[in-house]
Chains A and B, each alone.
Chain A
């Protein structure tokens, strides 16, 4: 394999990677795209291992094999509800790999100081930040924002220190300073993610995803490797766009997520008692549903937390097959714990993807729906986001479920969502509350539906 042919390999693999992302434009082309991605990766790795003069081939293959076994093991074992944790870990490992490469290069006498220091710092903060995110998602750390005294000031100081020391290192590249910068990068990731609340995790994972890409870009510059730069920037762009989508859907700003008051302090749960919410039974709900022509189901994370997706799919299927009802699912971008999470959870429960719609594609249909079945969701249906300028939710895109003839809310209690904002829809005339566990209530509805 002559060296001069390598650029051709980089072009080939780069094109296949772009095709892999392009494939995700629709579920039909996505699997084919993934195969192209695998092909591109296999080609790049195979040709690199056999660059003339490369040593340690036995150990390299061993490391590849061990990592491959580990990766596939986790990929096959992970529960779809825990997908965000797996993505967090993968983001982190990518960052750590960049750290090791940058260290190895500097120790080996590389003079690509700026490129390696970028790879080092971004990689380090991606790793430590991802580990904190993982611990929060997994429940090892409280999902409440962990705030330390003067955290805003300390974090700002840390950024300044890193900037100054990086400049010093570039002017006078002492190896010890490089190590210090690595440690500061790790510290940075921890200090920035600790104060972020659990509700903002979809944003954090997206940001870290982007960082793992930017770290690869840094390493790419250090090697002058075009494929690394191209791939890293596409991953970086992807993470950045997902962060933007999440921030928009939550009506937050990046500055607020990282520096501001965090979104998970659900202090105000007190609901004023003078308003009366109407409660109903699953039996009533089932009768109304049997006679409906069109039902839109709005699932939120509470539904997934209760593990109700399979019984929900059963309900939708029964309504469609036994009673000829038009049933659709409406997904808010922040319905899960990471971008697109709810779509995967429903797909796992065998809900066909043609029945699942995004916010902007279905919102006008509530006006023609007989029933909106809101299960484990709250804030994403709160009309205050459209009408009440003083509400913290104001400006957040929400489902107009109130426009349906009847709205069912499956909830444990009248409590507010993570925002701590009361939902006036609970007290609307066409709303019926179904108090209880999402899985149990839906199960009872299914039992009544199947009695015929």
Chain B
């Protein structure tokens, strides 16, 4: 029970951090914000990895491996498309 309240505290505080950090993002970069958040939400891969690596039955292992695959698409795709977008935002060339 204690553990649950601890996690809930972390959850609520993280929401506040998210709120303030995200309002600080310039509107010009709202598209990269979405792709970066896609990429970091791929952290769900950590759950997928432990499921695939510790499950006792084959179905769970297989489902876990599928989840690893999907999360990897998110991670690599999200970071790569963000990098591509951000590289386009250039300063004025000095004459």
Chain B residues with CB below 8 A from A80, complex form = 85
B43's nearest neighbour on chain A, judged by CB, is: A231
- What total count of A-B pairs have CB within 8 Å? 362
A237's nearest neighbour on chain B, judged by CB, is: B18
Tell me whether A228 and B36 are in contact in the complex, defined as CB-CB below 8 angstroms, given that A237-B19, A339-B30 are known contacts: no
**Alpha-carbon distance A246/B54, docked complex (angstroms):** 42
Contact B38 A18 (CB under 8 A): no
A91 at the interface (CB under 8 A from B): yes
A188 at the interface (CB under 8 A from B): no
Chain A residues with CB below 8 A from B91, complex form = 27, 352-354
Chain B 18-60: CB-based contact to A (< 8 A → 1; otherwise 0): 1101111111111111111111111111111111111111011
**Cβ distance B46 to chain A, nearest Cβ, rounded Å:** 5
Tell me whether A51 and B50 are in contact in the complex, defined as CB-CB below 8 angstroms, given that A24-B33, A234-B17, A354-B91 are known contacts: yes
Sort chain A's interface into a size bin.
35 or more
Contact A25 B76 (CB under 8 A): no
- In-complex Cβ contact of A100 among B38, B39, B70, B81 (8 A): B70
**Cβ distance A276 to chain B, nearest Cβ, rounded Å:** 38
**Cβ distance A115 to chain B, nearest Cβ, rounded Å:** 9
Contact A76 B29 (CB under 8 A): no
Tell me whether A223 and B27 are in contact in the complex, defined as CB-CB below 8 angstroms, given that A30-B89, A72-B77, A93-B74 are known contacts: no
Sort chain B's interface into a size bin.
35 or more
Chain A residues with CB below 8 A from B87, complex form = 31
**Alpha-carbon distance A134/B62, docked complex (angstroms):** 27
**Cβ distance A219 to chain B, nearest Cβ, rounded Å:** 5
A384 at the interface (CB under 8 A from B): no
Contact A220 B36 (CB under 8 A): no
**Cβ distance A112 to chain B, nearest Cβ, rounded Å:** 10
A59's nearest neighbour on chain B, judged by CB, is: B65
**Alpha-carbon distance A93/B69, docked complex (angstroms):** 10
A263 at the interface (CB under 8 A from B): no
A148 at the interface (CB under 8 A from B): no
- In-complex Cβ contact of B45 among A45, A78, A245, A356 (8 A): A45
Chain B residues with CB below 8 A from A37, complex form = 36, 39-40, 79
Contact B41 A232 (CB under 8 A): yes
**Alpha-carbon distance A141/B24, docked complex (angstroms):** 36
A128 at the interface (CB under 8 A from B): no
A363 at the interface (CB under 8 A from B): no
A103 at the interface (CB under 8 A from B): yes
Contact A241 B57 (CB under 8 A): no
Contact B68 A70 (CB under 8 A): no
Chain B residues with CB below 8 A from A33, complex form = 36
Contact B92 A344 (CB under 8 A): no
In order of increasing CB-CB distance, the 7 nearest A-B pairs are: A67-B72, A237-B18, A71-B77, A340-B30, A54-B53, A71-B76, A75-B80
10 contacts between A and B (CB under 8 A): A40-B40, A51-B50, A60-B68, A64-B72, A100-B63, A105-B51, A209-B37, A212-B41, A216-B43, A234-B22
